[in-house]
Amino acid sequence: MSNKRSNSFRQAILQGNRRLCSKALLEEKGLNLSQRLIRHVAYETLPREIDRKWYYDSYTCCPPPWFMITVTLLEVAFFLYNGVSLDQFVLQVTHPRYLKNSLVYHPQLRAQAWRYLTYIFMHAGIEHLGLNVVLQLLVGVPLEMVHGATRIGLVYVAGVVAGSLAVSVADMTAPVVGSSGGVYALVSAHLANIVMNWSGMKCQFKLLRMAVALICMSMEFGRAVWLRFHPSAYPPCPHPSFVAHLGGVAVGITLGVVVLRNYEQRLQDQSLWWIFVAMYTVFVLFAVFWNIFAYTLLDLKLPPPP
């Protein structure tokens, strides 16, 4: 018998003993700080007791939740660098040199494909960055601890790309900045998972916490809408679009929900996964062709390059 199989066998025996004594993980006493943290994360993210116990028994913090932490640190670092170079930290987007940065998505420079992803490292101001960082750490890190960097990174990046492509289709003259597409994908998937498994989710104050999360998301979305229609500091180019938020939500309630509902299960075995992957692929292909042909066919007047 291989080591891997024997470890799995021991885990199964331990899991069976737990079920036989019908003792909930929440009732266990004498846990140290790290064990209580792992238990807390399990109850925050998983709706089934068997999955919570399995996660609690098998989690080793190796590797740690490096993806969300790395992305967050990079976003903060780029923001501080831009703040120093522009000598402005509040509403950086109003600075005349802001859009000259090669990371920002700009409709005139849409052929530079990296901008559909790198715009997440540029934020409109400290008020924009602050809320995104808080949501990434409070929601993204626990999700990554449970589901792993690959799955959570997939949902996050899919939300980011969907956000910029949605802007290029629905708000064609506007630039895009900020990581809201990825953040809204994760938060929307998490909230939808809680609602769909309401009776099984045992996190404390879940109704209050959902309300707080929705209020924070609404405030951020409202700020983005207000900024989009506020008179631009550098006409004729408008302020950044808010449509990326909606692209992130669409990814969260489709691909994201399937990922979060299938803990320790192969996504490729889920028919719903392939349906949503196909829908996402069709949208990406449509947006690519739209970017190639629609701007010319519609004879759209775009703002000048920065």
Q: Are 34 and 135 in contact (CB under 8 A)?
A: no
Q: Are 181 and 164 in contact (CB under 8 A)?
A: yes
Q: Are 192 and 252 in contact (CB under 8 A)?
A: yes
Choice among 168, 179, 180, 241 that is catalytic:
180
Our answer to whether residue 180 is catalytic in this structure is yes
Residue 266: C-alpha distances to residues 9, 167, 233, 258, 260 (Å) = 20, 32, 49, 11, 12
Helix axes 180-196, 243-251, angle to 10 degrees: 40
Q: Are 75 and 129 in contact (CB under 8 A)?
A: yes
Choice among 128, 147, 190, 245 that is catalytic:
245
Q: Are 50 and 15 in contact (CB under 8 A)?
A: yes
- Which positions are catalytic? 180, 245
